[in-house]
Structure 1
């Protein structure tokens, strides 16, 4: 019987220290695998030990084969595979749970998020210390269609007015956060779109970093306007309720022995 989750695991460095885990959720992105892996490899060449975790969310094209072809020559590349598609938030969660570094970066698998910004975002969250839970990328020079940009602006203004998370672009997939902070968040489908508000809810600071948007490398988007409209409204109401129910964050002054 096929498992719901399969993974290829490579050993950690000999000193056991990984500085960052990079998680990339993908579904049917065969043509984007090799170029993006190459970009990530170049971007992270100087940051020390890292791992790259691709989460194949039930792809039906050649995504799995493209990843398998790259793995033998890249010991830092790991692959987690869902037996069937469960959505982007589920893929991100599988990747974060598999991550072995204390800090995780995520980016979309279509190539629009430029991994060249990962080192600066990593340095930013490390310099800020444990009070910072997330560095949220905010896109400049959007390469989407005019309709999609308008849709995003409206959604972000509505979300910002209701959640007051101080973030103008929560839809950017390029994020850098502490693994333990992410795992403390309440999980639900579309969590990745509301991370700034929920990180603040847990008592952590959210930092921002402007990032360059790029054209999708190949293929077409897996998302449409009507796929997310009504679900997004319900999600927004749910996150607002979660924030309202969190009166104060416990400050531990004494631990049990």
Structure 2
């Protein structure tokens, strides 16, 4: 869970995650992206209550993608589940995505969430629909909601991908580029109860143009070897 100025949402989210995963063998990694509020203190205060909780902190604000990568590098399990830190993703959906991936062949590298009945403004939903349509048309990744933060994927598959800022929005295309299969599951979406969004429609559009061109270039330069045998 990447968090930036989410002191109001993070503790409740951590408790929900603990409840959702119950007695499963798991760890919970929050990455505090140099928050300016009390996010770090409120999370560290929870460590006695939730022994599975780990809290990492950036010294400089580096964005959502870098925070996700920091957490994945630090993680000790082969299956990763990511969630947005604002509480809009429902932790109750997370074990289902992880279990589907765990039961699947290694060729399935990611199970992405697709938000049902999105609880965002009409303008945000419209911008997302247009953006997803354009991205899918150009990249042919089969994803209709790549902006959903709730995803389960294999740690080793993620670490094979070329890193760049905003990579979290292009995981379906990049996983396919490496020859992996991906799947999707419908997930719940909730109102934001505290804090404010760190993105604007204009900001997403500005970044997405260069990102799309870069991912299209990466796709054009991909050469897969098929199976690899050792003599």
Q: Does 1:32 align with 2:9?
A: yes
1:247 Cα deviation from its structure 2 partner = 2.7
> Equivalent residues in 2 for 1:210-249 (5 A)?
210-249=186-225
Which runs of at least 4 in structure 1 moved beyond 3 Å after TM superposition?
none
Query: How many corresponding residue pairs?
Result: 231
Structure 1 position 250, deviation (Å): 4.4
- Determine the structure 1 residue equivalent to 2:91: 115
| Structure-1 separation of matches of 2:203 and 2:130 | 16
Partner of 1:85: 61
Q: Which residue of 1 aligns with 2:139?
A: 163
1:58-89 superposed Cα distances (whole Å, 9 cap, x missing partner): 10001011111101222210011001100100
- 2:220 partner SS: helix
- Equivalent residue number for residue 43 of structure 1: 20
In structure 2, C-alpha distance between the alignment counterparts of 1:124 and 1:161, rounded to whole Å: 27
CA distance 1:249–1:158, change in 2 (3 Å) = farther
Which segment drifts farther, 154-163 or 242-251?
Answer: 242-251
* Alpha carbons of structure 1 residues 30 and 249: separation in structure 2 relative to 1, 3 Å: farther
Matches within 5 A, 1:147-226: 147-226=123-202
Give the alignment's TM-score, normalised by structure 1: 0.88
Q: Using the alignment, how far apart are the partners of 1:140 and 1:84 within structure 2? A: 34
Task: Note the C-alpha offset of 1:251.
Answer: 2.2
After superposition, the C-alpha distances for 1:195-222 in whole angstroms (9 at most, x for unaligned) are: 0000011111001010011011211101
> TM-score with structure 2 length normalisation?
0.98
Taking the aligned partners of 1:174 and 1:217, their CA distance within structure 2 comes to 18
Residue equivalent to 2:108: 132
CA contact under 8 A between 1:202 and 1:249: conserved in structure 2?
no
CA deviation vs aligned residue, 1:145-185 (integer Å, no higher than 9, x gap) = 00000000000000000000111000000000000000000
Q: Is the 8 A contact 2:18 2:50 kept in 1?
A: no
Deviation at 1:244, TM superposition (A): 1.0
Name structure 2 gaps, 5 residues minimum. Answer: none
Structure having the higher strand fraction is 1
Q: Which runs of 5+ in 1 are unaligned?
A: 1-23
User: In structure 1, what is the Cα distance between the partners aligned to 2:131 and 2:174?
Assistant: 17
Once residues 219 and 126 of structure 1 are traced to their aligned partners in structure 2, the CA distance between those partners, rounded to angstroms, is 34
Indicate the residue corresponding to 2:44 in structure 1: 68
